[in-house]
Amino acid sequence: MKPSILLTPLVHKNKKAIAIKFAYSYMVKEKVKVIKGVRWSATHGCFYVFEEIMTVNSLFNALRKAELYVDYSAFMKTTQKNLPDGINLKKNTTPIQVTVKQSRDISEKKKQVIRDFVLYLRGLRLSESTVKTYFTFVADFVAFHPTVPCDKLDNTHVRFFVEHQVKRRKYAISTHRQMVSAIKHFGTFLPGSLLEVDEIPRPSKSSYLPTILSKEELVDLLRFTKNLKHRSVLALLYSAGLRVGEVISLELRDIDVDRRQLIVKNGKGRKDRVTVLAESFLPLLQNYLTTYQPERFFIENPNGGQYTAGSIRSFLKRSCKEAGITKRVTPHTLRHSYATHLMENGVGLRHIQSLLGHAKPETTMIYTHVARKDILQITSPLDTALHALREQDKSNQKPWLSQNIGG
């Protein structure tokens, strides 16, 4: 997920300006401060740019060029004709981009079809993250064939588009599968569609084993995370096996200290579940709540509201570097490690499935491939061979493999 920027009106030094607000991230800060005309205001505690120097439209385009998502909803009163193409500010809608970027060559008629497709996806109760992903793929697909009406697109058009995107953007298998799923949904939605959705091939799912941190690495990770808020977030991610979106959405009222439980509401698949609150986490939690005093969410943006996943990934990366951990670690790595360590501690598969909120036991079973409990009991044939040789030649007490071998 790309970092999110909030643009709001601002009056600074008696001039109209645009405030640029975001959850602290070194990467975002470096991208924002190099935009021409952008300055820092100690008074308001945010970056800004005077409207006489840069219009909202120009600022929006500059931020999107820097690969940052922009929340433009504070400018609701601005007329639609003055808005950059690629943004929709209708009331009572989530700030998702349901129109088309200027770089896409799409007619107004096709844009309306895509807008209706977004409404269709929301009607299916898909998450906003999924809606945004599917919208992007379909908008790219329609733009790839600018002269072909939407209801004339067929499986051959899909093949050309998919081959081009996979080669040009070097999509991973998971992204390739998402792209095909988006087009399949589009074919199901489109009236009179020529797309035969059942005939559109989708690559098989990858079966990579997840990256797992050892228990020693996890302790080091927390020890080297000096910031109290950051350490609390990482400790909760691991100790409760939460997804990054779940820890961001976690509200204080859903933390039951007395029963040592967390109520995870509206998790993946719109399911609630209960997970365990680690006893060793309670003193850290109390220290964090007393110091930061969040009002609604467990972790909050310094400017109010929810924290961002990008910020968590950013400080997790810094903590790994400080702890000397060279593995590729994401917030989900902590969840993988939680499940694997539970299995190694003898917790049953069904209990782990319930704690993780998996719909199918097959999803949880991947951890049986990485848990060390049974594997460590297997003796390597090298050890067996060396042990047999030592038994035969008990007079030779020298190390068999570490010694230098003469010619």
CA distance 235 to 313: 14
* 243 catalytic residue (yes or no): yes
CA distance 234 to 379: 35
**Pick the catalytic residue: 335, 336, 338, 341?**
335
* 332 catalytic residue (yes or no): yes
* 367 catalytic residue (yes or no): yes
**Which helix H or strand E contains 7, and what residues bound it?**
strand 4-12
Question: Which tokens sit at 167?
Answer: 């080669």
CA distance 377 to 400: 22
* 168 catalytic residue (yes or no): no
**Pick the catalytic residue: 21, 104, 243, 313?**
243
Q: At how many degrees (to 10) do helices 155-169 and 173-189 cross? A: 150
CA distance 156 to 316: 43
Residue 146: alpha-carbon gap to chain centroid: 32
CA distance 289 to 257: 12
Residue 93, CB-side half-sphere exposure with 13 Å CA sphere = 19
CA atoms 100, 102, 106, 108: torsion sign: positive
CA distance 407 to 391: 25
Instruction: Specify whether the CB–CB gap between 349 and 365 falls below 8 A.
Output: yes
* 335 catalytic residue (yes or no): yes
Question: Which tokens sit at 16?
Answer: 């109209």
Longest dimension (CA), the chain: 92
* 44 catalytic residue (yes or no): no
Report, in angstroms and rounded to the nearest whole number, the Rg of the chain calculated over CA atoms: 26
* Cα 338 to Cα 208, 235, 333, distances in angstroms: 18, 11, 9
CA distance 402 to 142: 64
* φ and ψ of 355, to 5 deg: -65, -35
**Pick the catalytic residue: 122, 177, 268, 317?**
268
Sheet architecture: strand order including 273-276: 255-256, 261-264, 273-276
Active site residues: 243, 268, 332, 335, 358, 367
